[in-house]
Every structure is written in structure tokens, then in C-alpha cells.
Amino acid sequence: MRLYEKIAAKYYDEVRMDKLTMDAYSASLKVSTKGENKSQVVNTMFYTTFWANLIAFMADYSVHQAILFYGYYIYIKDRRKKRSAEGKEDEEEEEGFNGALATSMLKKSTQLAISRGFGLFCTSIGGGVGTVVWPGWGAILFGNMGDSVGSVILDDGTSNAAKK
């Protein structure tokens, strides 16, 4: 996460860096005391929470993307080792398999990007609503609940935890 902050500090001015490193708790307390109506508070905190969580969500996405690529790398390496031990060297079959594998990896990468993007969106909504309900801790609590709701909505049902 700090790497993303350093990169952002190189390319963005202080105003944008303030948005990217904003403390949602403090911002929630500050916005709630301005005397705006509820829809303005939700709107303001939506954008504040969005920018404040963008770097964290990008870092989370990058870690999951690296894990996904590493898993595919290990799978391909093991498959090639197994095929060479069995004496199978069919190039045409291997090309077809690699194409299917690339498609599968692209699909999972896209699902991951959509999931993390939707999670960020739901977190931002939760931060706005939480500020109206309970300034300060409400932004944090409802933001986390929003991320959880986003994950539940986009769960593709492939988790093994539910099957045990």
C-alpha cells in the first residue's frame, strides 16, 4: 500500500494526495458538523470515502492478482513437468490448452477487478450512509459492511468453505 502512496505522491499534487490519504473517520466527523442536509452529507462522504479507500483497494487487488498469476504459473509448471515425465509432447494440444488457460485467467482477472471495483463502490455508499447514522464510527462500520455486502452480491459460489 505504501508503494502506491509513493507512486501517487510522485504524480499528483497535494490536493489529490490529501483526498487519497484522507482519514474517513475524521472526515465523517467534520462533514457531519457542517449542517448540510442528509443527501449532501451522503454525497460528500461517498466521494471522500471513495478517494480515501482507492489506494487500499488497489493494493488489495494487486495482491490478489499476484496470487492468481502465481497459482496459474505453478499449475503450468507442474503440468509441463508431468507431461514431460509421461513423454507427451503434442504441440497442437498444448497450444489449445494454453489458449483455454489464458481465457480462464483473463476471466478470473476480470471477475477480480469487477469484484474489487464494486467493493469500493459499496464501501463508499456505506461510508456516506454511516456518516448520517453515526458520524465517525458509522462511516467506518458501514463502509466495512458495504464491502462485505459487495462481496456477498458478487460471490460466484466457488468457495469451498460453504461446502464443508
pLDDT-based confidence at residue 1 (cuts at 50, 70, 90): confident
Q: In whole angstroms, what is the distance from residue 87 CA to residue 157 CA?
A: 37
Q: The pTM is what? A: 0.84
- Distance in angstroms (rounded) separating the CA atoms of residues 112 and 98: 21
CA-CA distance, 14 to 112, in Å (whole number)?
30
Q: How far is CA 93 from the centre of its chain?
A: 35
Element (H or E) spanning 77, and its range? Answer: helix 38-86
Average pLDDT, the chain: 89
CB atoms within 10 A of CB 109: 16
In this prediction, residue 155 carries a pLDDT of 75
In which band, very low, low, confident or very high, does the pLDDT at 145 lie, cut at 50, 70 and 90? very high
